[in-house]
Amino acid sequence: MKTSYRAVVIGGGVVGASVLYHLTKLGWSDVALIERAELTAGSTWHAAAGFHAFNGDPNIAALQDYTINLYKTIESESGQDVGLHMTGGVNIATNQSRWEQLQASWATFKAMGIETARLVTPAEVHDLTGGVIRTDDVLGGLWDDNEGYLDPNGTTHAYAGAAKKRGAEVILRNRVLELHHRPDGTWDVVTEKGTINAEHVVNAGGLWAKQCGLMAGVDLPVTPMEHHYLITDDLEGIKALPGGRELPVIADLDGFTYARQERQGLLLGVYERNPKHWNMDGAPWDYGMELIPEDIDRIAEELGIGFDRYPELANAGIRKWVNGAFTFAPDGNPLVGPVGPRGYWVACGVMAGFSQGGGVGKSLAEWMIHGAPENDIYGMDVARFGPHQSNKEYIRQTTGQFYARRFVVTYPNEQLPAGRNIRLSGAYQDMTAAGARWGNLWGLEVPLYFAAQDFEEPGTLRRSANFSLVAAECAAVRDAAGLLDISGYARYKVTGPQARQWLDRLLACDMPATGQIKLAPMLHENGRLMGDLTVFQWEDGSYWLMGSYGLRAFHMRWFRDHLENGVQIDDISDATAGFSLSGPKAREILQSVAEVDLSTLGMMQCGSSDLGLHRVAIARLSLSGELAYEINCPACEHASLRKLLLDAGAAHGIKEIGFAAMLSMRLEKSIGIWNAEFTQGYTPAMTGLDRWIAWDKGDFIGKTAAASAPAPDRMLTMLQIDADGADAVGFEPVWKDGAVVGVTTSGGYGHRLGQSLALALIDNDARTEGLDIAVHVMGELRPAKVIAMSPYDPTGARMRA
């Protein structure tokens, strides 16, 4: 053990070993892994070690595909057998919603270019599984050649062995005791065998990630939870598989179980609906190769379903019970990236380490060495959570909810109950009384639509029961005015003598003059997108940036990383709230209570006014494509401002609306949103945001890389779909003459146009207006055609009125 390294990885499970391997693969040899006991001691050693590419997030699915394809490489590089069993695998469906979901998942695989998956019939499921499972209720399945299982011990040692061949050091039986951040930005890693200085520290602590985070002053939203599987004695059905082939990996999603072959028996795992947390503050330091006593009564219901699916289990002996702990984040995805003091990184909460560990290691190593991951990994980024989501009860509720629903169909229109009603806008109670139905955005309740108190919205993969309600809200905006609570917008105030110069370097747009607004793409140094913001310059010389509420931690990390002397940036999102007033009657309504002449406030201009007793900041910009104003007020005035505006608009047909209506209207205007049209994986040229870039101004972050990037092969395009009771949601393949020529980014129903619409990234030679194409919607191929962007009021006359 040396006294200093460039990077130290804490934790010797499969994830820590993968991080070490990828750091060396990308060129850092002066790195070390420190493990308190032995490699795999924690969750790794007892893992079922199955792997699959299927994931609800296509970007994570791509990294899982990378992980699977990496195993033969690390085996070859290290000389260590990983015990790879490439058996293939099948997810089965026993109800219609699940079957539709699997068909949609197959289509997503096609959109990603993964060709190893196919849909299979009940008869094929029977044949593929050798009759080991009962298939009389199976509607179909999703088969993937690229599934199987491996040896967790061998795999972890293969990662570590390949890393050691490139110069890495693996230090065992040496617990990390403390972490101290030096004034020079490096870290002192205090261990049982001495203190090490490192430029970077990676928390891959697994069951101990919580404690390792607190050592750096970071409270991570992770917790260990119990997870059961059993291994049977030999089964005749498995021994009788034709040709001596192995049983494929099987996921009975509706039965809450997964299974694979173990020797000549069966390994059956259970995701019970009554989960149990274990040592929420982190595992005891002396815990290692132990198991938790099995709790059969708690998992009995799901176990019974599993025994029914595998009839031979009724008379089989149980050779071994395994109840081990795995670490979960609130949404079940890993926590990856920089957090806390500079040079501190996390790679934890990876509950599917043998599906995701390679992708996690790759992405984090790229981030540390090159400044950004190659792939868009926002679904794994630790910054998707804020400090309020490290609350212990929040973690308990949300991780329990995720675990209990691990194999349950989650519908796009479904609102889940865990961790709710934490952050409420000032008018929340009044809006609830008026029929608001709420969604959750980074802990804040945001209105989705308004309905009668007795209205119920069942979960569905197709159009929601709220369809007519949202249509009525869109009609009100078209014909009169709609009032939308926009407390769920992020707002950052930028001040200081160097504020303008700093923003000019941070943003790719021209800077606004006093009283003006600019749409503001923000780029990474690599030329890809970091944000689709709006920048305001107010009359007092201060600036606002507005953006996505759910990206607050993500963007504040970026702002702080690039902050300069003479600049102050404050997140004022919780202190400031407001409303958007949209529609042809908007100015008339607002003017009736305003002290300034609103006819002088042009499009993309901003200013202040008194509205009744309120002093507000008003901006003229439109997401709906109608005449619109955004009215910002102190959060404590939110309820009374709402009442003022509703009273003023009562005679003009004003109607409260939710974000379901606004998202429909923005789609009709071809206005992109983050995590759909705009992501870290896209360049501005792909998405059309390049038209807002001021290429002729001075230098700004990402200018050189964006300007020199090759012309994109695909660009954002508008589609009209001949839908049948369901609309595109995003990441569906777009087809022309039997070939995939693009992928949808988002979709929905345009109520003002009466059309099913989607935005999509399409090959350049297939973007001709009027071209007939096809799109998979809920797994069904639907006719579609390319249409012009902004199909609703394409000239923009209504919003410029």
If one looks up domain 489-572 in CATH, what number appears? 3.30.70.1400
Phi, psi of 55 (to 5 degrees): -160, 145
Listed in sequence order, the residues at least 6 apart from 133 whose beta carbon sits closer than 8 Å to its beta carbon are: 92, 125, 126, 250, 252, 309, 310
Query: 617 pairs with which residues across the strands?
Result: 608, 632
Q: What is the CATH number of domain 712-787?
A: 2.40.30.110
Amino acid, single-letter form, for residue 659: F
The amino acid that residue 313 corresponds to is: L
Which residue(s) pair with 548 in the sheet? 489
Alpha-carbon distance 346 to 335, whole Å? 6
CB 751 within 8 A of CB 666: no
Predicted local distance difference test score (pLDDT) of residue 242: 85
3-state helix, strand, coil in the chain (%, to 5): 30, 30, 40
- What 8-state DSSP symbol labels residue 85? B
Q: Which residues pair with 485 in a beta bridge?
A: 579
Domain boundaries, the chain: 4-370, 489-572, 712-787
For every residue of 269-300, which 3-state class applies, written as one string?
EECCCCCCECCCCCCCCCCCCCCCCCCHHHHH
In contact, 199 and 186? CB cutoff 8 Å: yes
What lies within 8 Å, CB to CB, of 259 at 6+ separation is 247, 249, 250, 252, 266, 267, 268, 269, 306, 310
Q: Provide CB contacts within 8 A for 11, sequence distance 6+.
A: 33, 35, 42, 203, 204, 205, 206, 208, 209, 212, 348
CB 481 within 8 A of CB 584: yes
By the 10 Å C-beta count (0-12 exposed, 13-18 middle, 19+ buried), 259 is classed as buried
Express each pLDDT in 642-658 by its tens digit: 999 999 999 999 999 99
Rounded Cα gap, residues 620 and 628, in angstroms: 6
Can you read off the two tokens belonging to residue 346?
């996390």
**Strand, coil or helix: 474:** helix
**What pLDDT, on the 0 to 100 scale, is given for residue 244?**
81
Please, which pLDDT band fits residue 128 given cuts at 50, 70 and 90? very high
Q: What is the pLDDT of residue 611?
A: 97
3-state secondary structure of 47: coil
pLDDT digits (tens, 9 = 90+) for 253-269: 999 999 999 999 999 99
Report the CATH number of the 4-370 domain: 3.50.50.60
- Look up tokens 């404050």; give the residue: 570
Query: Can you say how many angstroms the Cα of residue 12 is from the centroid of all Cα atoms in its chain?
Result: 27
pLDDT per position as a tens digit, 437-481: 999 999 999 999 999 999 999 999 999 999 999 999 999 999 999
Give residue-wise pLDDT tens across range 162-218: 999 999 999 999 999 999 999 999 999 999 999 999 999 999 999 999 999 999 999
pLDDT digits (tens, 9 = 90+) for 705-755: 999 999 999 999 999 999 999 999 999 999 999 999 999 999 999 999 999
Q: Are the CB atoms for 270 and 303 separated by under 8 Å?
A: yes
**Rounded Cα gap, residues 66 and 763, in angstroms:** 24
> Residue 372 corresponds to which tokens in the numbers above?
């950004």
Read off the pLDDT of residues 360-397 as tens digits, 9 standing for 90 and up.
Answer: 999 999 999 999 999 999 999 999 999 999 999 999 99
Choose among 83, 68, 43: nearest CA to 279: 43
The predicted-structure confidence for 129-140, as pLDDT tens digits, reads as follows: 999 999 999 999
**Cβ neighbours of residue 604 under 8 Å, at least 6 residues apart?**
516, 517, 518, 620, 621
In whole angstroms, what is the distance from residue 745 CA to residue 742 CA? Answer: 10
Residue found by looking up tokens 């012309």 in the block: 711
The pTM of this model reads 0.96
- What confidence score (pLDDT) does residue 55 get? 82
Contact by Cβ (8 Å): 485, 447: yes
